Structure 1
Amino acid sequence: MTDTTPPLTPVDRRRISDALDELTVQIAWQLCADNPQAGEREVRLAVLAAAHLLCTEADAHLDQAAHGAARAGADYAEIGAVIGMSRQGARRRWPGLADLSRGAR
């Protein structure tokens, strides 16, 4: 296996986290836009709803990305390695990727 993906640095992680924070707040404000009287409780609940939405969408994107990597020939070990998961963990999460990967090679 060749590692073609550089690991995320602490600076990369901080930038991504900051961008995610900003996006979460933007979504929360949009959710509260129809309620100009929204208090802290409503805003905090909107932030929670926004964070849940982002988590759900990110999980779907992760699945799509794993399938795309397999279609490009990546195996379970490579897919797991770039996200800090074991080969077995990747196999459990995405059964059937081996068929996609083999088809690409």
Structure 2
Amino acid sequence: MRDLTPDERQELRRELSAVAADWALRLKDSDLDSQRRADHEPNSAERMRTHLARMAAGEQMRTILADLVSASADEAVQHGAGYPELGAAVGASRQAARKRWPNLSISKRRASEWKQPPGGIGWAGDSHL
């Protein structure tokens, strides 16, 4: 996987900004006063409400995107990815990925793959002093 180019990053930013603005309009109070003010030059209070609505929409988007990233991480694990691959996908270390997604089935899967020593865990064999 590659990082976004600066132009791609700017394009994605514009697209996300448009989505946030659209959802902000949906979230904003749609009373008659707001509709009337939209026909004229918006005043400071209306601009403030618009920006606050964009913030609210953006925060909701952040939560949804975080859920999507976590779901994708879980799917990737089901198809064989480990913490090193998850970390690389988000530009982080294996340890950071493990901290970010501690409850993924990687640990359980890997633990079941470990070979146990002949006497089981804690077996030290014969010791002769």
* Structure 2 length-normalised TM: 0.68
2:99: which partner in 1?
92
Larger RCO (CA within 8 A; separation ≥ 6): 1
1:1-105 superposed matches below 5 A: 5-32=1-28, 34-38=30-34, 39-97=46-104, 98-99=106-107
CA pair 85-50 structure 1, distance change in 2 beyond 3 A: same
CA pair 40-101 structure 1, distance change in 2 beyond 3 A: farther
The structure with the larger Rg is 2
Q: The residue matched to 2:12 in structure 1 has which SS?
A: helix
Q: Percent identity?
A: 32
Q: CA RMSD in A?
A: 2.2
* Structure 1 length-normalised TM: 0.81
* Unpaired stretches in structure 2, ≥5 consecutive residues: 35-45, 111-129
Please state how far the C-alpha of 1:59 moved relative to its aligned partner: 0.8
Q: The residue matched to 2:17 in structure 1 has which SS?
A: helix
Count of aligned pairs between the two proteins = 100
Please state how far the C-alpha of 1:99 moved relative to its aligned partner: 4.1
Instruction: Give the partner amino acid of 1:94.
Output: W
1:47-91: CA deviation from partner (whole Å, max 9, x where unpaired): 111011101111111110111111111111111111111100000
